[in-house]
Amino acid sequence: MVIAAPFWDMSYPAALKNFLELCSIFNATFKSDDKTCYGNCKVEKLLYITTRGMDISTGDPLEQATPYLKALSWLWGIGPMDVIATQNMDYVSEDEIKKKVQQAIETGLHLVENW
């Protein structure tokens, strides 16, 4: 599964949150027994691609998209999650933006070779 969305309000756009909520369906994406929920998806991995205007890294307490997507990945039974993030995009030159985007593309291409 690939999710690509910009950093928005410390997470990602509300439309994506709404979409994910609509996809989180009991007996479709997850099930439960008498003790806990467990995933029902056939997806093996999750790739989250994002851009961030500010200089906020993945794992920073101000960045809340990754923790939510990891939790959702657990609930749905999706395997490991990888993140490709370009950051500080609002405060650099156009040339630097191009370099950051190219680096993200190269990172993604290298990553999928091993998927």
Write down the pLDDT at residue 109.
Answer: 96
The residue among 61, 39, 62, 58 whose CA lies nearest residue 49 is 58
CATH number at residue 83: 3.40.50.360
Range of the domain at 53: 2-113
Q: How many Å apart are CA 34 and CA 58, to the nearest integer? A: 35
Supply 109's token pair: 């291409």
Give yes or no for a contact between 10 and 53, defined as CB atoms under 8 angstroms apart: no
Residues contacting 44, CB < 8 A, separation 6+: 78, 79
| Average pLDDT by stretches of 10, the chain with 115 residues | 96 97 96 94 96 96 97 95 97 97 97 90
The total number of structural domains that make up the chain: 1
Write down the pLDDT at residue 77.
Answer: 96
Write down the pLDDT at residue 115.
Answer: 84
Write down the pLDDT at residue 114.
Answer: 86
Supply 89's token pair: 């995009």
**Model pTM score:** 0.92
Q: How many Å apart are CA 51 and CA 40, to the nearest integer? A: 30
